[in-house]
Chain A
Amino acid sequence: MTMTEKPLLDIKALRIRVGAVDILKGVDLTLRPGRLAALVGESGSGKTMLARAILKLLPPGVRITGGDITLAGEAIVPASDRKMRTLRGPVAGMVFQEPMVSLNPAMTIGAQLAEALRRHTGLSRDEIRARAIEMLRRVRIADPEGCLTSYPHQFSGGMRQRIMLASVMLLRPKLLIADEPTTALDTLSQREVLDIMVELARDAGTAVLLITHNLGLVARYTSEMTVLRNGVLVEAGATADLIAGAKDPYTRELVAAARRVESLAEPGDMQAGELISADDVAVRYRGRSDTAVSGVSLAIRRGETVALVGGSGSGKTSLGRALIGLAPLERGSVSFQGERLSAETNHIGRTMRLACQMVFQDPYSSLDPRRRIGAIIAEPLRHAEDLSRDQKRERLDEVMRDVGLAGFDLRYPHELSGGQRQRVAIARAIVRHPAFVVADEPVSALDMTIQAQVLALIASLQKRYGFACLFISHDLSAVRQIAHRIVVMDNGKVVEEGPTRRILDAPEHAYTRSLIEAAPGIDPKVGSAPSRQLERSVQ
């Protein structure tokens, strides 16, 4: 490839402003036809705004204040809306982060796929239908004909993202912008969607700009990367070079956060007594014919961290919730220090309720937006009757210091970042010194470096307060850092369990192996770097 080849996308000194704040402060980016490039940065780095600027899809109030964007020879900044409408679709397509809301719930898949083809091509009805079916087959939707007459809610997140991908790739655009396309998906679906994306892009000769905060994906799928931070370009270059030896300290920090796999967990005390145990637990939700969890037995010792791992729909969240009385037991029982939660009564006793706490996945919806942070964290102390007012105040201050939020008492949740909110949720769970905490994907909604901080926080709090933890996750690197033991679930059943090292390094069950293989590592094994193979075929 020669350097004289005309770039498909050329961004020069782009500046974007919201109100009086510059969110992009002069960023350059070039992408040649057919290449796979990554745009990396944490939330707030301006990467999404940059991507949207390429298609001029900026939200109201966000303005381009300087610089040039050239896309396939067209100057984008001065282009009219009419001109942009001819570019969006045939020249550049975009896949968004949230598959649950990016398809219109009131339209059939067929109608949504046909929409773009009707507008941009002169194809007949039958040809459109044939193309749509062919494309759905290519994104590995099992029954393409049936899919055309189905509605989005009938599909899982991963399938919706593949359908979204199909709708964009139907027009064979020159550029595909994928904005965190798999952040909301579990590892297996993530891998599937990205594999398909890269395959389709290669066949159509489409260049891909993958926007992500996950360096594992960058390493696996792209050959060039650009790192943004606070609207400033930090570093750009070949992916392999930057991962092997970045010049900029921030890039190095990102790489280190992605690579960090050493265990943070204290060696577990194998002699410690059993704290909570599940016996043949089955969960079925009302109105559902299939069981979410079908017959799982499990025991957790005092102070131990057990990771519950599996893809979406494996029943891991249902099991975690059932252990603390939040999901109805259909069969079996849970014992906790002499208290018993059984299918017959489905009622959780007072002691158990107060001693078992939970950290929820989404820090944006787990905090009451009308309460101040201090009040949210202190709320569990309402039920700590043995503490005086002053002791409660002291306990609150102590926990807020522990989670690094001292002085945040009077703020509201919306004033905090995602990582800070999750700290609030963790503080609320531990303020009453519980014996057992269920943490449901507590870091999956957070940026990489923030994830590392929150995991370290959980590990240090555990050392300090000695609670046992059931850590539900699909992120194996997080699990490696924090868990003593791993329990792997698939289809409502436990398929494998054992010490963290043993499971991750020598998995026995095929499902466990597929999970581990799908996990995006930053240092791809020799011969398994699809991006390089793909690019060779392009060149």
Chain B
Amino acid sequence: MSRGANFILGAAISALLVTAGIVGTFWTPFNPLQLDMVNRLSPPSAAHWLGADEFGRDILSRLMAGASTSLGIAAVTVAIAVSIGTVVGLVAGSLRGRVDRLIMVLTDALLAFPGILLALALIVITGAGRNGIVIALSLAYAPGVIRVVRSAVLSVREKEYIEASRVIGNSELYTMLAHILPNCLAPISVFATSMFGWVILAESALSFLGLGVPPPAPTWGNMLAASQPYFENALWLSLAPGACISLALLGTNLLGDALRDHLDPRMAMA
């Protein structure tokens, strides 16, 4: 697929989901929290396009209402994790020595736990709920970013143009921001977009364990989690949020690739 097509498809998918999220904040076809036992587990129909869940709530409405929560949590988490990871990774890779060793020992210690386990431990401190999830997940995913950024910095800083920058008389800080950081953006952007997907899934896992956004407020993750007992006779319950999560992953990954290529002048000609 050409780069242009990548960008257009990624942008279209992302725009669709973001629009759904924005509209869902103000208006949904049905009240997403309204119980309706008559329509319990009803399959997709003219009235309920995507069917209704185990409490008869309209799934389309819940998806729309959940979009802003799920996408919002993922976006903020990725932003925080990438910011922390980039700053710390840049410092570790640029300063080397004792600072680097200390940072890497801590990072490796954190990476020894699966991200979700770390998030669980952190939620014990931060408490469940929207903010708790964001803080826990961003701290859980930051060590990975630190590793990626640090190794990118280590390879870039050996290039002669970094030395050339020093010879010109530029300070270390300026060299770091003007020459090292821009040349590390490609791996960072790829990592950030794939992390977007992990965070949505992690949020659903936390919700599944009852540590996510508390019910009845919908998120794609807790909808997916709640659909699990009905998997055999009401497949649409899990298909709808699952499809939304997949679409979000596809959209961000396509956008991420386009962004990486756009940021790299060498790709402009290819």
Decide yes or no whether B179 CB sits under 8 A from chain A.
Answer: yes
Which chain A residues lie closer than 8 Å to B168 at the CB level? 357, 379-380, 382-383, 428
Q: A326-B163, A360-B160, A370-B182 are in contact. Are A350 and B169 (CB under 8 A)?
A: yes
Q: How far is the CB of A195 from chain B (nearest CB, A)?
A: 32
Decide yes or no whether B164 CB sits under 8 A from chain A.
Answer: yes
Cross-chain contact B165 with A369 (CB below 8 angstroms): no
Which chain A residues lie closer than 8 Å to B159 at the CB level? 365-366
Instruction: Report whether over half of chain B's contact residues are helix, strand or loop; otherwise say mixed.
Output: helix
The residue that A366 contacts in the complex, of B164, B263, B266, with Cβ under 8 A, is B164
Nearest residue (CB) in B for A362 is B160
Q: How far is the CB of B88 from chain A (nearest CB, A)?
A: 23
| Total number of B residues with any Cβ neighbor in A under 8 Å | 20
Cross-chain contact B266 with A414 (CB below 8 angstroms): yes
Decide yes or no whether A511 CB sits under 8 A from chain B.
Answer: no
Cross-chain contact B167 with A369 (CB below 8 angstroms): no
The residue that B183 contacts in the complex, of A368, A379, A412, A414, with Cβ under 8 A, is A368
Most chain A CB within 10 A, of B161, B179, B183, B268, is at: B161
B-contacting residues, A321-380, CB 8 Å: 324, 326, 350, 353-354, 356-358, 360-362, 365-370, 379-380
Decide yes or no whether B47 CB sits under 8 A from chain A.
Answer: no
Which chain A residues lie closer than 8 Å to B170 at the CB level? 379, 382-383
Cross-chain contact A357 with B183 (CB below 8 angstroms): no
Q: A360-B163, A362-B160, A365-B161 are in contact. Are A370 and B265 (CB under 8 A)?
A: yes
Nearest residue (CB) in A for B180 is A368
Cross-chain contact A366 with B269 (CB below 8 angstroms): no
A365 to B164, CA, bound (A): 10
Decide yes or no whether B264 CB sits under 8 A from chain A.
Answer: yes
Decide yes or no whether A290 CB sits under 8 A from chain B.
Answer: no
Q: How far is the CB of B167 from chain A (nearest CB, A)?
A: 5
Scan B149-179; emit 1 where CB is below 8 A from any A CB, else 0: 0000000000111011111111000000001
A354 to B169, CA, bound (A): 6
Which chain A residues lie closer than 8 Å to B268 at the CB level? 412
Count how many pairs of residues, one from A and one from B, have CB atoms less than 8 Å apart in the complex.
64
Which chain A residues lie closer than 8 Å to B265 at the CB level? 369-370, 412, 414
Q: How far is the CB of A386 from chain B (nearest CB, A)?
A: 14
Nearest residue (CB) in A for B182 is A370
A331 to B52, CA, bound (A): 81
Nearest residue (CB) in A for B167 is A358
Q: How far is the CB of A184 from chain B (nearest CB, A)?
A: 16
Cross-chain contact B165 with A379 (CB below 8 angstroms): yes
Most chain A CB within 10 A, of B159, B166, B167, B263, is at: B167
Q: How far is the CB of B261 from chain A (nearest CB, A)?
A: 13
Cross-chain contact A370 with B165 (CB below 8 angstroms): no
Q: How far is the CB of B61 from chain A (nearest CB, A)?
A: 46
Q: How far is the CB of A369 from chain B (nearest CB, A)?
A: 6
Q: A414-B265, A414-B266, A414-B269 are in contact. Are A368 and B179 (CB under 8 A)?
A: yes
Most chain A CB within 10 A, of B164, B264, B268, is at: B164
Cross-chain contact B164 with A383 (CB below 8 angstroms): no
A414 to B269, CA, bound (A): 10
B-contacting residues, A218-241, CB 8 Å: none
Cross-chain contact B264 with A370 (CB below 8 angstroms): yes
Which chain A residues lie closer than 8 Å to B169 at the CB level? 350, 353-354, 380, 382-383
The residue that A368 contacts in the complex, of B161, B166, B269, with Cβ under 8 A, is B161
A-contacting residues, B7-65, CB 8 Å: none
A233 to B187, CA, bound (A): 44
Which chain A residues lie closer than 8 Å to B266 at the CB level? 369, 412, 414
Which chain B residues lie closer than 8 Å to A367 at the CB level? 161, 164
Cross-chain contact A360 with B264 (CB below 8 angstroms): no
A-contacting residues, B63-97, CB 8 Å: none
Cross-chain contact A324 with B161 (CB below 8 angstroms): no
Decide yes or no whether A390 CB sits under 8 A from chain B.
Answer: no
Cross-chain contact B167 with A326 (CB below 8 angstroms): yes
Decide yes or no whether A415 CB sits under 8 A from chain B.
Answer: yes
Q: How far is the CB of B247 from chain A (nearest CB, A)?
A: 32
Which chain A residues lie closer than 8 Å to B167 at the CB level? 324, 326, 353, 356-358
Q: How far is the CB of A424 from chain B (nearest CB, A)?
A: 11
Cross-chain contact B164 with A428 (CB below 8 angstroms): yes
Q: How far is the CB of B24 from chain A (nearest CB, A)?
A: 39
Which chain B residues lie closer than 8 Å to A326 at the CB level? 163, 166-167
Which chain A residues lie closer than 8 Å to B160 at the CB level? 360-362, 365-366
A254 to B183, CA, bound (A): 39
Scan B227-270; emit 1 where CB is below 8 A from any A CB, else 0: 00000000000000000000000000000000000011110110
Q: List 21 A–B pairs whose Cβ atoms lie within 8 Å, in order of A's numbering.
A: A324-B167, A353-B167, A354-B169, A357-B167, A357-B168, A358-B163, A358-B164, A361-B160, A366-B161, A366-B163, A367-B164, A368-B165, A369-B183, A369-B266, A370-B264, A370-B265, A379-B170, A380-B168, A383-B170, A428-B164, A428-B168
User: Other than the known A369-B266, A370-B264, what 12 A-B pairs have Cβ atoms closer than 8 Å?
Assistant: A366-B159, A367-B164, A368-B165, A368-B179, A368-B182, A369-B264, A369-B265, A379-B170, A382-B168, A412-B266, A425-B164, A428-B164
Nearest 8 A-B pairs (CB), nearest first?
Answer: A366-B160, A412-B265, A380-B168, A368-B161, A360-B160, A383-B169, A365-B160, A414-B266
